[in-house]
């Protein structure tokens, strides 16, 4: 035996009402004053430069930043069983073999 839900009575099943009369238009208002144009101000001083970032992504598993830079990020890519990232003094290495062809390191250096 099929379980059937009873038909729900919705709003659209009610009595149709007669459409009302159109309303009156709102009153007309006058436009506001035109904004004044002001003189442009003087040019300001030059700001300090932002931090310079450099991405180092060699075709090897070891990379270093320059002496006037500091490493701010590092990650390894390639094939490995355990994540092999080894941070160095101012760089990073992926795994123990610097001549690896299956692991690559990418570092981001910032000017000090």
Range of the domain at 90: 53-111
Residues 65 and 112: beta-carbon distance below 8 Å: no
Mean pLDDT of the chain: 84
In a domain, 78, yes or no: yes
pTM greater than the 0.85 cutoff: no
Worst-scoring range by mean pLDDT, 9-18, 31-40, 71-80?
9-18
In a domain, 13, yes or no: no
Residues 107 and 65: beta-carbon distance below 8 Å: yes
CA 56, CA 69: separation in Å to the nearest integer? 12
In a domain, 69, yes or no: yes
In a domain, 98, yes or no: yes
């Amino acid at each position: 035996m099929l379980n059937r839900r009873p038909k729900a009575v919705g709003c659209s099943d009610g009595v149709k009402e007669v459409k009302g009369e159109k309303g009156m238009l709102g009153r007309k208002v006058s436009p506001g004053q035109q904004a004044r144009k002001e003189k442009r101000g003087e040019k300001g001083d030059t700001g300090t430069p932002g931090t310079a970032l450099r991405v180092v992504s060699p075709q090897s598993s070891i990379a270093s930043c320059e002496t006037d830079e500091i490493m701010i990020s590092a990650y390894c890519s390639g094939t490995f069983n355990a994540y092999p990232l080894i941070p160095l003094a101012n760089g990073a290495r992926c795994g123990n073999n610097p001549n690896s062809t299956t692991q690559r390191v990418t570092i981001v250096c910032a000017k000090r």
